[in-house]
Amino acid sequence: MKIIIISGSARPNRQSHKIALEVLKRLEPLENIQPALLDVREKPLPLLESIYRNHPNPTENMHHWKKEFDQADAFIIVSPEHNGSYSGALKNTLDHFFEEYNNKPMGIIAVSAGALGGTNAAMALQHFCLKVGGLLMPAFLITPKVQSLFDADGILIDESYSKRLDKFLHQFIEFSQRMNK
């Protein structure tokens, strides 16, 4: 099963990207799971004028995202909370596509420096996932105080969050396998 992990922040010192990398690291050794990380910062898309399907001249990055999305069996979206929602860079990227999400399992991990862990971003992303016809896993993972979860080398040091992340990923894989039967 190919799981696309979308890293949703384009900021220079983005903390949510550490979570996306941790998700990738935990999924890579699993049998029958093929994770791939797509990063809104590394492969940016132009401001939305036309969705991919109707675009008169798609960019190379647009083709890349389209190919990966078409091959995906499931999506995990990792987003910071920006101004009570998910990031503008993520919104712009996700909006370039529509039918690519249809009937595919989707999971949400929200990230924040604050105590609420990105709850508003997660709720906004739930609306998006449902609107595009994704099969949304009801449980999402919030990530409060992300700045305290990793050491200076980017190693996850918070045991409690590590367990919650493992539980979320286990639930997401089971959910995705059931939905992809």
Predicted confidence at residue 181, as pLDDT, reads: 83
- Of the candidates 65, 85, 114, the one whose C-alpha atom is nearest the C-alpha of residue 9 is 85
CA 36 to chain centre: 11
CA 56 to chain centre: 27
DSSP E strand boundaries for the chain: 2-7, 34-39, 74-82, 85-86, 105-111, 135-136, 141-143
pTM of the model: 0.97
Predicted confidence at residue 118, as pLDDT, reads: 96
**Span 66-79, mean pLDDT?**
98
Contact between 52 and 116 under an 8 Å Cβ cutoff? The reply is no
Residue 82 pairs in a beta bridge with 85
In the CATH hierarchy, which top-level class contains the domain 2-179?
A: alpha beta
- Residue spans of the domains in the chain: they are 2-179
* Residues 83-128 pLDDT 10s: 999 999 999 999 999 999 999 999 999 999 999 999 999 999 999 9
User: Taking all residues of the chain, what is their mean pLDDT, rounded to a whole number?
Assistant: 97
- Of the candidates 87, 167, 101, 161, the one whose C-alpha atom is nearest the C-alpha of residue 130 is 101
**Span 117-140, mean pLDDT?**
97
Contact between 97 and 69 under an 8 Å Cβ cutoff? The reply is yes
Q: Which residues contact 125 (CB under 8 A, 6 or more apart)?
A: 77, 79, 86, 108, 110, 140
